[in-house]
Each structure stands twice: as C-alpha cells, then as structure tokens.
Structure 1
C-alpha cells in the first residue's frame, strides 16, 4: 500500500539534505491525528514492522524550478515537493490516511506547507527480474565489525579500508536475511523459495551520508546507497520488499524501491 503526498507552500523553500527526521515527524503526527493509540504502538514498539518513505522530490524541472546548493540542500522555487509513504499493514495505512485528512497544514524545513489530496498508487503486477530504482537510499549495517566499530554501514562495493574481506557479500547476505525476516513476521512462516539480488551499473551508484535520529535514540551518522538493482524471487516476498523497503532503518526513510 503506497500513497503519494504533495505539499505546497506560499513561498520558495529549501529541503535539507538531512530530511529524514522532518518527514518521519510528519508521518507520526499524521498517525497521531488518525489514532493516538496506533501512533503510540508504531512509535514505541521497535519490533513492529512499520513503514518506509521516500526522499523528498522537488516539483518541476531542475534549473528552472529547483536547484541544488551543495552546502544547504535543494532550493525549490516551484514551492512544491512530494514524497511517498508505504506500508504492508492496512491498520497503519488507514490510520495514516485518516490523519492526513485532519491535517490542515504542517511545518517542515522551517516552512509552512499545505497538503494536496493524497493519491493512492497502484502496485506493480510483478517485480522479479525487473530493473528497480531506489526512491530513498538503501542502508545495511552490522554491529559485529572485526575492527571493533559499534556499528558499520556496509557497502555493495569493496571499500579500501573495509574491515571485511568481502564486504559486498556480507551486504547482500544481510539484505536477503532481513527480507526473509520481514516475510516471517508478516506471514508467520519461513520463506523457502529462491531469492537473489543484483546491483546494476545504471544509474551510477552513489554513496550518501545522513544525520538521523532513531526512536528513543541519539543522532547517528548513516551511510546509504542510491543505485539500481534487480531482485529475483517469488512475487509474494518481493511485494513485501516493495511495501516495507529493502535493507534496514526503513522507518527512518531508507530503502524504498520503485520500478524504472
């Protein structure tokens, strides 16, 4: 279940590169307006599989309607941006929509926005073997790095100073394990079918860094990747990937996928 949210302001504004916390706060505010009990459950229960959201997309054409300032963020002259929200849980999705209809305005990035009518999006019929793009960067991490690091954000490519002999292999292994865990949580049974992931050459892979704040946690610096991928497996498990995101820290705004 996926919805497109378009927001418009009365004046130009700047979208921070560290947008995650602002958009996550917007989502929880809408959930609270929809049903405070549901919002508290989603917010406080770390074991619940929740949702994923995309990065913000400025409306219009680059150069004419928006430009990127390498230090500050994306300056939007068109006064409008959109992002996507997705979940596999109907009770979360319905509560979120109910809250949106009660939300007259919202302040993000120091600017007041007005919400246009939400647009529920149709899901693709099939995903296996199709080129997919990331709508928010993919994050995969481990707490068992051999160099003693408390948390190590993994790369789909081999970094020069990696503490792992084959970091891309571990990146792939943990992504597939995480997806199988989501399947088990939602379906109540182990996934036994084939499952694989391939990193594509196009679009050009890019490493991004973000300051994010987990629930009831401190601010952390996170590395994630924008790239193209292909997934291979049963459509049922790939649908879960589409709805909940690929990789980790999905409810912080990482791992949303779209069809190229």
Structure 2
C-alpha cells in the first residue's frame, strides 16, 4: 500500500540533493508518534516478516511540478507530493495514524505544508508493467578485494541482482519461490538511453550510493510484480531507493 502526502510551499526553497536521510528520519518520527515499539524495531534490526527481520518500505523523491536543478541543490515552489510504500498493511496503517494532525513536515532546513495525506491501494498488476522510477534503483556487489561496486542498467548483472532480490522478498512475504527466468526487464526506448544522464549519486550518512532513473518494462508472476511495486526494486529501499510507478 502507498501513502501520498500532498505538499505545498508558497516561497521558493532550496533543497540539498542529499535529503534521503532526512526523509527516513521523518518516517521514524511518524511511526514513533503512532507506535513507539514498532518504530524502535523498524529502525533497529527491522520488524519480523515471516521468520526474518526486515525494513519493508521505500519512499519517493520529493516530487514538485515547479522545480529547477542547480549546482547548489533543487529549487522548488508550489505544489508537490511525497509517497511512501510498503507491502505490510500494519505498517501502512501505522504511518497513516502517525500523520494525523501533522500539518507540516521538515526536511533538513526546509519546511513544507501538508495539505492532505491519503492511503492508496495497490492497483491490479498487468501481465506486463511499463514503469518509471520515483527514486533511483540501486544494485551492488562486493568484489573479492572487499570493494562494493554499483552495477548499471547496461550490465546483465544489474538485472540478475534485481531478480534475486525480488525472489528473496517474495519468499519473505508470501513464503513462495519463483524462477528467476520468469522475471524479465527491458529498457524502454533503449536507443535514447544515456547511462550518464540516468545515473544519480546520493550521499547517505557518510556513504555514496549510485542508482539509476530510467523507464522500463517488466514481466513476471503477479506476486513478484506486487512486491516490486509495493516494496521496491533493488537494494537500500528503506533509504529511499527503488520505488517505481506505472507509466500512464
């Protein structure tokens, strides 16, 4: 399920590009306001899903209609929105309860009016999803020398990691295992795809995380598509990476 916050700022505001940690801290505050015990678990080892702890949520970037990218940060004004997504109904309900009476959110030094918030039910999954990213998708591997290397969408390894991650999440939520060969990804308009333009480097609590924003098609079993939509693709979902939406 998803929660959408409709935001507004009358004055122009300059937002630092590296605001993911601020948004994650805000989620902690919201959950804590509704259920302190859940907040401590969620932002500790994680809440128990099946027989393993997990942090089953992701969130979008701040999405404003009126924005300008500068070397100092993102200048925004007017109306915007922010989305949080989770496959766990109890967590979604806790988030909604924690947002009651919250008419303003703070992101770093910036403050935004919350005009309204609402719960969005997950749509029915089509056989093939045409999607875009609401937050960069990240995959990484550790090489034998201990280095963490971020993969990119022109490498087959990128998609192998997306598949294995989805299979792990689906097993945790549904207790079922699917064949990786049944999950396929295709870049939309590959002739227009530019790797450097798609790349996003985010600094998160002392670590540089490299992800990618691009449009793609995805096919797979319904439960796999549901988890991709509600939990996100790839790694670092709870740090604000991997959230997707349908192209409309």
Q: Distance in 2 between matches of 1:12 and 1:124?
A: 34
Hey, what does 1:200 align to over in structure 2?
A: 188
Q: Provide, for residues 68-127 of structure 1, a one-character-per-residue CA deviation record: whole Å limited to 9, x for no partner.
A: 21x12221132x431111000011111111001142433213122222221222433224
SS in 2 for 1:77: strand
Where does residue 5 of structure 1 map in the other structure?
A: 5
For these two proteins, the number of residue pairs brought into alignment is 236
Give unpaired runs (5+ residues) of structure 2. Answer: 47-52
1:192 CA drift (Å) = 4.3
Instruction: Report the alpha carbon displacement of residue 45 of structure 1 after superposing the two structures with TM.
Output: 1.4
- Given that 2:3 and 2:119 are in contact with CA atoms closer than 8 Å, whether structure 1 keeps it comes out as yes
Q: Normalized per residue, which structure has more strand?
A: 2
Q: Which residue does 2:19 correspond to in 1? A: 19
- Does the CA contact (< 8 Å) of 2:127 and 2:219 recur in 1? yes
TM-score by length of 1: 0.84
Q: Deviations over 1:176-232 (max 9, x none)?
A: 00000000111123224822222223674511101013xxxxx20011000111111
Q: Where does residue 30 of structure 1 map in the other structure?
A: 30
Distance across 1 between alignment mates of 2:21 and 2:214: 22
Give per-residue Cα distances to partners, 1:7-29, cap 9 Å, x unaligned.
22453212221121111111111
RMSD between superposed Cα atoms in Å: 1.9
Asked whether the equivalents of residues 21 and 239 of structure 2 are also in contact (C-alpha less than 8 Å), the reply is yes
Question: Who is 1:151 aligned against?
Answer: 148
Regions of 4+ moved over 3 Å: 202-205
